[in-house]
Amino acid sequence: MYQYDQIDRQLVTERVAQFRDQTRRYLAGQLSEDDFRSLRLRNGLYIQKHAPMLRVSIPYGLLSSDQLRMFARIAREFDKGYGHFTTRQNIQYNWPKLETVPDILALLASVEMHAIQTSGNCIRNVTADHLAGVAPDEIEDPRPWCEYIRQWATLHPEFSFLPRKFKIAVTGSPQDRAASKVHDIGLHLVRNAAGEIGFEVLVGGGLGRTPMIGHVIREFLPKRDLLGYLEAVLRVYNLEGRRDNIHKARIKILVKAVGPQKFREMVEAEWQASRDTAPQFNAAEIGRIAAFFQPPVYESLTDRAQSEIVAGKPNEFRQWYTRNTKKHKVSGYRVTYVSLKSPTRPPGDITAEELDRVADLADRYSLGKIRSTHDQNLIFADVKQEELFAVWQQLKALDLAPPNVGTLTDMICCPGLDFCSLANASSIPIAKQINDRFDDIDYLYDLGDIELKMSGCMNACGHHTVGHIGILGVDKSGEEWYQITLGGSASGLDAAIGQVIGPSVPYADVAATIERILDVYVEKRDDGERFIDTFRRIGMAPFKARVYVAPSHQAA
């Protein structure tokens, strides 16, 4: 993974000093509430319901065990002993004190981390496929490009005060595991007819109250033009994006207003006009970065069949192997999920003790590295097949091995009303309600791959609009109600925005409503057909008819 040199180290150190001074001036009354707000957000610091919330950047979701241990220390010393992984591969702390944040940032800097641009109207953490470098279907590892973009975007003098936040995701596989089509910019490493690798560029995707799928504005961008072209997109947005209404300020609104074709022409014109003055491609620098992402030295092992790996082991291990591990591109290894979706925990949450133990396990079994995923789990990317059973036993002891990855209860969930000052309704108690109702693992396996995503407000941090089943919390005269959408998808060629099934349902009825929806699926599905595919085939009507049937009819 990328290692800081003197320049990187100096930059984060100076950033800590800058923020320490800003905090001092604010506390001394020399910096207005509004001005400090804009500045603290650039360091990931929100003021939330109960306390400030600090979001720490995990560039493209890659962590060392020492960094994970630092998360544990921060959780222990500055928070209430836990952290929460987010849908953009970052971690959040919900209880730090404002005046201690500069000290937290200093500790992060000591392990080559920061909270720069994890919030605010600037270019946010660049995210990537969580299987980067180990996925068998990969064209090229996207992470060197993520790091290249990270550096370019960090404290970018021209693009640090944009109309609104700006998110970039990069993938290197045909299968999109980074939700790149719902990012402001999605970059796909692709191969052209001549066999060269470059980028397909999508712009204008996003979630929030106006969810949209991004549009391809460049089918093939040579690698050498990457930063110059990104600058052209950002400059058009910075100058032309709306600033009069926070809800109309994302780039997706601009792309929609002028139309994708016209937007593409605007970017192309800006790019042609700025070619001479744009950042020039620096092969030595991308080479320096790429060297940090060379594949590790794998042992030469033979692939074992599943039957061999699970032979003589408990059934639960077999289940875990099937759901929570994935194929690795190197034989004898397996990608292994550390599930943060046990029914006993709020989705994405992890305690300081667990963080420490996960770090130890990573050191012992997975080359000392951990990844965070956009669906709020962790990954050991490089586990030897022969050690899977030992890993499972230890993860199970930590309640980090519920065999539910990819199933209904592997849900994405925002912090909701329990923590967030934007939320209209709770998310975490609804997750619990769903976990309580769907506690039969055989039923979950029978349902198969299904994505349930839940947000406590229309800002959509829980990605509900791209869930196969989405749940959105709404406030109705002080009561928590939930609107349900079906048919959304964040991934791959079939990314789509979900459709609202009908009127929202009360708090107590959410899990029961989901069950009725699933009943329709189970009745109507063809053999081996996923929920999303059944929905696409039969449409909304059968689901709607069942969900809104009057109770008396139901009984009859």
Partner 1 sequence: MLRRLIKQRELVTDEWRYAEEDPLGRERALILPFARWKEERERWWLWDGKLGVRLGPTDPVAALEHDFLRIALVAIEFGGLGEGRGYSQAHLLRKRYKFTGELRAVGKIQRDQLFYMARCGFDAFELPETANVDEALGAFDDFSVAYQPAVDDGLALKRRAV
**In the complex, what is the shortest distance from the CB of residue 272 to partner 1, in angstroms, rounded to a whole number?**
12
Cβ closer to partner 1: 138 or 270?
270
> How many C-beta neighbours within 10 Å does residue 351 have?
17
Stretch that binds partner 1, among 210-218, 235-243, 260-268, 503-511 (CB under 8 A): 235-243
Stretch that binds partner 1, among 190-198, 238-246, 439-447, 500-508 (CB under 8 A): 238-246
272 contributes a contact to partner 1 by CB under 8 A: no
Per CB under 8 A, the list member of 238, 324, 373, 465 interacting with partner 1 is 238
Stretch that binds partner 1, among 278-286, 436-444, 463-471, 473-481 (CB under 8 A): 278-286
3-state secondary structure of 379: strand
In sequence order, the 6+-apart residues with CB closer than 8 A to the CB of 314 are none
**In the complex, what is the shortest distance from the CB of residue 128 to partner 1, in angstroms, rounded to a whole number?**
17
Cβ closer to partner 1: 285 or 436?
285
Residue numbers 28-47 binding partner 1 by CB under 8 A: 30, 34-35, 38-39
**In the complex, what is the shortest distance from the CB of residue 421 to partner 1, in angstroms, rounded to a whole number?**
20
Reading the block at residue 35, the tokens are: 């001005």
Q: Residue 197 in contact with residue 188, Cβ under 8 Å? A: no
**In the complex, what is the shortest distance from the CB of residue 198 to partner 1, in angstroms, rounded to a whole number?**
18
Residue numbers 295-324 binding partner 1 by CB under 8 A: none
Per CB under 8 A, the list member of 27, 257, 269, 273 interacting with partner 1 is 273
158 contributes a contact to partner 1 by CB under 8 A: yes
> How many C-beta neighbours within 10 Å does residue 491 have?
20
Residue 304 CB-density burial (10 A; 0-12 exposed, 13-18 middle, 19+ buried): middle
Cβ closer to partner 1: 4 or 507?
4
18 contributes a contact to partner 1 by CB under 8 A: yes
10 contributes a contact to partner 1 by CB under 8 A: yes
Stretch that binds partner 1, among 60-68, 74-82, 180-188, 277-285 (CB under 8 A): 277-285
Q: Cα(10)–Cα(105) distance, rounded to whole angstroms?
A: 13
Name residue, tokens 């400090």.
Answer: 36
227 contributes a contact to partner 1 by CB under 8 A: yes
3-state secondary structure of 362: helix
15 contributes a contact to partner 1 by CB under 8 A: yes
Phi/psi at 144 (nearest 5 deg)? -60, -35
Q: Cα(509)–Cα(301) distance, rounded to whole angstroms?
A: 51
DSSP conformation class of 485: E
Reading the block at residue 79, the tokens are: 């928070």
Per CB under 8 A, the list member of 1, 2, 16, 22 interacting with partner 1 is 22
Per CB under 8 A, the list member of 24, 97, 209, 243 interacting with partner 1 is 243
The amino acid at residue 324 is N
Phi/psi at 483 (nearest 5 deg)? -95, 135
Distance of CA 526 to the CA centre of its chain: 31
In 358-398, beta strands by DSSP E: 369-372, 378-384
163 contributes a contact to partner 1 by CB under 8 A: yes
3-state secondary structure of 197: strand
Strands, sheet with 369-372, edge to edge from the N-terminal-most edge strand: 62-64, 369-372, 378-384, 333-338, 325-327
In sequence order, the 6+-apart residues with CB closer than 8 A to the CB of 196 are 222
Per CB under 8 A, the list member of 160, 175, 342, 459 interacting with partner 1 is 160
284 contributes a contact to partner 1 by CB under 8 A: yes
Cβ closer to partner 1: 38 or 192?
38
How many residues sit in the footprint of partner 1 (CB under 8 A)? 39
143 contributes a contact to partner 1 by CB under 8 A: no
**In the complex, what is the shortest distance from the CB of residue 120 to partner 1, in angstroms, rounded to a whole number?**
10
Residue numbers 69-128 binding partner 1 by CB under 8 A: 121
3-state secondary structure of 209: coil
**In the complex, what is the shortest distance from the CB of residue 187 to partner 1, in angstroms, rounded to a whole number?**
16
Q: Residue 431 in contact with residue 453, Cβ under 8 Å? A: no
258 contributes a contact to partner 1 by CB under 8 A: no
7 contributes a contact to partner 1 by CB under 8 A: yes
Q: Residue 209 in contact with residue 256, Cβ under 8 Å? A: no
Q: Cα(288)–Cα(204) distance, rounded to whole angstroms?
A: 31
Binding site for partner 1 (CB under 8 A): 7, 10-11, 14-15, 18, 22, 30, 34-35, 38-39, 121, 148, 151-152, 154-163, 227, 235, 238-239, 243, 273-274, 277, 279-280, 282, 284-285
